[in-house]
Amino acid sequence: MWSVQLGRRDGRVSLATEISGNLPSPFANFTSLVQLFKGKGLNVNDLVVLSGAHTLGDSRCGAFSRRLYNFTSKGDADPSLDPTYAKILRKKCPNPASPAITVEMDPGSSLSFDNHYYDILLQKKGLFVSDAALLTDKNSNKIVTRLQRSRSLFFTAFAKSMKKMAAIGVLTGNAGEIRQNCRVVNPG
């Protein structure tokens, strides 16, 4: 799909507190997402393309349960979520949300890297508020539709956006370290 640069330097410290403001929240609206991506040198196309990574994996119920229960403080579900799908999700994720329960982010295709995420998005079955937000803007909605229609376009665009994202905040010189094991800071 794309070549990954090797020998990159990693920081010597990793703090959970640094996540906020650096990774998109599943609760983010379109404006917040665009601002976060723009602050990293990414654009709306990158936002929509990289959101396609939600085609893989699962999510804990707590990351989206607000969409199912009391979304507008009236005990209701998010009106931008397909009502039938909301019922299915409520059965899987009773209120209050259990941290042990997970749901596929891309139902029926969560183990395959493909453009199926955009199919479910257009069916109003995106799991997160941040997924549904991609349909609230005319330009991003057009991008979703184009990616839904062409798997090869999605693959090409994803590789391009991943390379662009990989160039954010690259450490050089003596900053950071080249890790012996990418999951842990080097000893000493």
pLDDT digits (tens, 9 = 90+) for 98-154: 889 999 999 999 999 999 999 999 999 999 999 999 999 999 999 999 999 999 999
DSSP characters over 68-113: TS-TTSSS---TTS-HHHHHHHHHHSPSSPPTT-EEESSTT-TTS-
Q: What region, left, alpha or beta, does residue 155 occupy, with left being phi > 0 and alpha being psi -120 to 50 degrees?
A: alpha
Q: Is position 54 annotated in a ligand binding site?
A: yes
- Whether the pLDDT of residue 3 is over 90: the answer is no
For residue 4, being part of any structural domain is answered with no
Q: Is position 116 annotated in a ligand binding site?
A: no
Q: pLDDT exceeding 90 applies to what percent of the chain? A: 70
Instruction: Say which amino acid occupies 92.
Output: K
Number of domains in the chain: 1
For residue 187, being part of any structural domain is answered with no
CA distances from 98 to 95, 113, 135 (A): 8, 27, 28
For residue 137, being part of any structural domain is answered with yes
User: In the structure, what pLDDT confidence band is assigned to residue 163 with cuts at 50, 70 and 90?
Assistant: very high
Tokens of 113: 């890297």
Asked if residues 119 and 146 have their Cβ atoms less than 8 Å apart, the reply is no
Predicted local distance difference test score (pLDDT) of residue 61: 95
- Whether the pLDDT of residue 1 is over 80: the answer is no
Mean pLDDT of 31-60: 97
Q: Is position 31 annotated in a ligand binding site?
A: no
For residue 67, being part of any structural domain is answered with yes
> Domain containing 127: what range?
22-166
For residue 183, being part of any structural domain is answered with no
Check which CATH number belongs to the domain holding 63 and give it: 1.10.420.10
Q: Is position 78 annotated in a ligand binding site?
A: no
Q: Is position 82 annotated in a ligand binding site?
A: no
Mean pLDDT of 26-37: 97
For residue 84, being part of any structural domain is answered with yes
Q: With residue 50 as reference, give the H or E element that holds it.
A: helix 44-51
pTM: 0.91
For residue 95, being part of any structural domain is answered with yes
For residue 77, being part of any structural domain is answered with yes
Pairing state between β 58-60 and 102-104: antiparallel
